[in-house]
Amino acid sequence: MEYNHKSLEKKWQKFWADHQTYKTSDTHQKPKYYVLDMFPYPSGAGLHVGHPLGYIASDIFSRYKRLKGFNVLHPMGYDSFGLPAEQYAIQTGQHPAVTTEVNINRYREQMDNIGFSYDWSREVRTSDPSYYKWTQWIFMRLFDSWYNKESEKAEPIETLIARFVASGSTGISAVSDEDVLEFSADEWKSLDEEKQQRELLKYRIAYLRESTVNWCAALGTVLANDEVINGVSERGGYPVEQKKMMQWSMRITAYADRLLKGLDTIDWPEPLVEMQRNWIGKSVGASVKFPVPQLNTAIEVFTTRVDTIYGVSFVVLAPEHELVAALTTPEQQTEVDAYIEKTSKKSELDRMADTKTVSGAFTGSYAKHPISGQDVQIWIADYVLAGYGTGAVMAVPSGDQRDYVFAKHFTLPIIPISDTQNIEEVADPNKDGKYINSDFINGMTYQEAVPALIAKLEELKLGKAKINFRMRDAIFGRQRYWGEPVPVYFKNGLPY
C-alpha cells in the first residue's frame, strides 16, 4: 500500500490544528510532564538541520509521555531579539520588527510541515512587549533589591534605606562593592540625593559598573565570549578588542553560597554537580595589599596560599588594570603600549586557553612587599584577567607553575620557601615541610603559618582573611537597538 505523505500528513496536521490536539489543559488529573526545547533564533534562512535534529527527539519523547498517560506541556517560542536580527535588518534595509515577523512565519511553516506536537497556544516571542514586560519587571525587582547576608536572600532596597536612616551603616551585613562608605544615621541623612543614590548602587542586585568587555566597533556593540573567534566577531569577521565600558551587571555572586548549598539537595549526577562547584569556585584565602608609595595606593591581590608570601618575587597585573597607565615609566611606555594593544585583540577565552605562550611586559615600577618592605617588580601579562578577582596576582615562582615558567622566561628570582621543596625543574606547591627564607614564620608548619601571617597583615592593615568565588557577576547590557529596553531613566548620570 503506497504511503502518500503529501495528502496524509496535510490531512492529519489539519486535524490536529482544528481539534487543538496538543493543547495542554491547565487542570487535569493526569500527572504533569514538561518538555521544553531551546527556542530558535528566527534568522532569514529558516530552520537549519540542527533545529529539527533536537526537536524531533524531544517530540518523540513528548508523544511517548502522552501515550503513557501524562498531561504533557510541550511549548515552542522564538528567541527573537538580538544582534543577528539587527544585522540582518541592516543588510536588507528593513526594520527588524518586519524581518523578525517574516522569519517567524517561515519557521512556523517549516515546523508545521514536520508535524511537531507543540501547544502553539503557549507560543513565546521574546520581542513581544507582552513577553518582555516581564523581563523588564524582573529587572526592576533586581534593581530595587539588595542581598542581606543575615537572611541569605534579597530584600527590597527600602529596607536597607530604613536601616541607614535608623542606624547608618553599622551592623549592615550585605553583599556590596568593596568601596562602600561607613556613616552614622545623621551622616546618611546629611548626604544629598545624588550621593545617597550613588551609594545605594553599590548594594543593588542590578547595578552599573565599568567592565572589561569584547567591543566590536564595526558592529557597534559588545559581544559575548562565544561570539568572538580568534579575535574577530563570529558574525562578519570584524576585529574585536578588550575594552572597559560601563555595563549593567547582576550581582549573582551574592548567591554563591546559596548555590553551593543547593547543590547538596538536588538529584544530579555527581560529575555535573562537581562541574557546578568548580564554576562557582569557592576559595578560602586572604586579601593582601602591596603598597605603591609613589602613587599613594596599593595593589590588592587575593591568594589561597598566603603562607607563600615570602616567596613573592614579582607582582603581575592584567594589561587592562586601572593602575597600569600610572605605573608605566617613560622608559617602558613603548613596550607596555605594544603589549596592551596586542592583548586587546584576544578574547578572555583565548587568553585562558593559551597556557603554552609566555609573554609579558615590565612596567618599570615597583611595589613594596607588605611585610618585608622589599621592592617587588610590577609586570603585566595576559594570563591575568581584569575581571577575575582583583585583576592582579602575587607571583610565587617556587610554588606556582605558571609563575615558575614566567620567572624562568624573564630571568626573575625563584625563592624556595619550604625545606621539602624541589624546584630544580618545576614549581613545587607542597604544604608538607617547614618554612625557610620566610622571616618570622621560619620553622612553622602550614597550619601554624597561615593564622600567624593573617594576624600580621591585619596588624599592618595590609590584609585580611577572605572568601573568594571564581564566578563573576553577569553582564547583560549587550543589545544595541533590537532588544528589550532597560527600564530606567538617568538623572545626573545615575539610574532611576
Q: How far is CA 122 from CA 22, 32, 73, 82, 119, in A?
A: 11, 16, 9, 22, 6
Nearest to 477 by CA among 488, 468, 486: 486
Span 431-441, mean pLDDT?
A: 96
Cell of 398: 617556587
Nearest to 286 by CA among 216, 353, 370, 402: 370
At 171-230, the pLDDT tens digits run 999 999 878 999 999 999 999 999 999 999 999 999 998 888 888 888 888 888 888 888
Helix (H) or strand (E) run with residue 397 in it: none
Confidence of residue 405 (pLDDT cuts 50, 70, 90): very high
At 84-96, the pLDDT tens digits run 888 888 888 999 9
All residues at 6 or more sequence positions from 279 whose CB lies less than 8 Å from its CB, including other chains: 470, 471
Span 447-457, mean pLDDT?
A: 97
At 258-283, the pLDDT tens digits run 999 999 999 999 999 999 999 999 99
391: region left, alpha or beta (phi > 0 left; psi from -120 to 50 alpha) = left
Whether the per-residue pLDDT at 38 is higher than 70: the answer is: yes
Nearest to 381 by CA among 330, 313, 332, 320: 320
With a pLDDT cut of 70, the percent of the chain lying above it is: 99
With a pLDDT cut of 90, the percent of the chain lying above it is: 77
Whether the per-residue pLDDT at 479 is higher than 70: the answer is: no
Q: Which pLDDT value is given to residue 243?
A: 84
Cell of 402: 605558571
* 111 contacts 55 by C-beta, under 8 angstroms: yes
Q: How far is CA 128 from CA 77, 140, 412, 446, in A?
A: 11, 18, 59, 59
Please state, in angstroms and rounded to a whole number, the distance separating the CA atoms of residues 286 and 304.
6
What CA dihedral angle connects 174, 178, 184 and 190, to 10 degrees? Answer: -110
Q: Where are the alpha helices (DSSP H) in 366-466?
A: 401-410, 446-459
Query: What single-letter amino acid sits at 460?
Result: L
* 316 contacts 393 by C-beta, under 8 angstroms: yes
Q: Which pLDDT value is given to residue 226?
A: 80
Cell of 193: 540625593
Confidence of residue 392 (pLDDT cuts 50, 70, 90): very high
Please state, in angstroms and rounded to a whole number, the distance separating the CA atoms of residues 145 and 142.
5
Listed in order, the ranges of the chain carrying CATH 3.90.740.10 are: 282-469
Give the position of cell 532597560. 486
Query: What single-letter amino acid sits at 188?
Result: W
Helix (H) or strand (E) run with residue 188 in it: helix 185-190
Whether the per-residue pLDDT at 2 is higher than 90: the answer is: no
For residues 300 and 477, the model is more confident at 300
Please state, in angstroms and rounded to a whole number, the distance separating the CA atoms of residues 2 and 22.
28
Q: Which pLDDT value is given to residue 239?
A: 92
Q: Which pLDDT value is given to residue 478?
A: 62
Fold of 282-469: Isoleucyl-tRNA Synthetase; domain 2 (3.90.740)
Span 413-437, mean pLDDT?
A: 96
Please state, in angstroms and rounded to a whole number, the distance separating the CA atoms of residues 78 and 99.
13
Architecture of domain 5-127: 3-Layer(aba) Sandwich (3.40)
Mean pLDDT computed over every residue of the chain = 93
Please state, in angstroms and rounded to a whole number, the distance separating the CA atoms of residues 145 and 105.
39
Whether the per-residue pLDDT at 137 is higher than 90: the answer is: yes
Whether the per-residue pLDDT at 328 is higher than 90: the answer is: yes
pTM value is: 0.79
Burial 382-392 (b: 16+ CB within 10 A, else e): bbbbbebbbbb
Q: Which pLDDT value is given to residue 222?
A: 85
Q: Give all strands (DSSP E) within 177-308, no chain letters.
A: 206-216, 221-223, 228-229, 232-233, 241-250, 282-292, 297-303
Listed in order, the ranges of the chain carrying CATH 3.40.50.620 are: 5-127
* 311 contacts 409 by C-beta, under 8 angstroms: no
Whether the per-residue pLDDT at 477 is higher than 80: the answer is: no
Please state, in angstroms and rounded to a whole number, the distance separating the CA atoms of residues 362 and 329.
9
Please state, in angstroms and rounded to a whole number, the distance separating the CA atoms of residues 245 and 35.
39
Q: Which pLDDT value is given to residue 179?
A: 85
At 39-70, the pLDDT tens digits run 998 887 788 888 899 999 999 999 999 999 99
Burial 261-278 (b: 16+ CB within 10 A, else e): eeeeeeeeeeeeeeeeee
Nearest to 407 by CA among 395, 422, 416, 417: 395
Cell of 49: 538541520
Q: Give all strands (DSSP E) within 149-265, no chain letters.
A: 153-156, 174-175, 206-216, 221-223, 228-229, 232-233, 241-250
Q: How far is CA 307 from CA 39, 249, 252, 301, 434, in A?
A: 50, 34, 30, 14, 11
Whether the per-residue pLDDT at 127 is higher than 90: the answer is: yes
All residues at 6 or more sequence positions from 68 whose CB lies less than 8 Å from its CB, including other chains: none
Nearest to 169 by CA among 154, 152, 186: 186
Span 420-427, mean pLDDT?
A: 96
Whether the per-residue pLDDT at 337 is higher than 70: the answer is: yes
Please state, in angstroms and rounded to a whole number, the distance separating the CA atoms of residues 380 and 361.
5
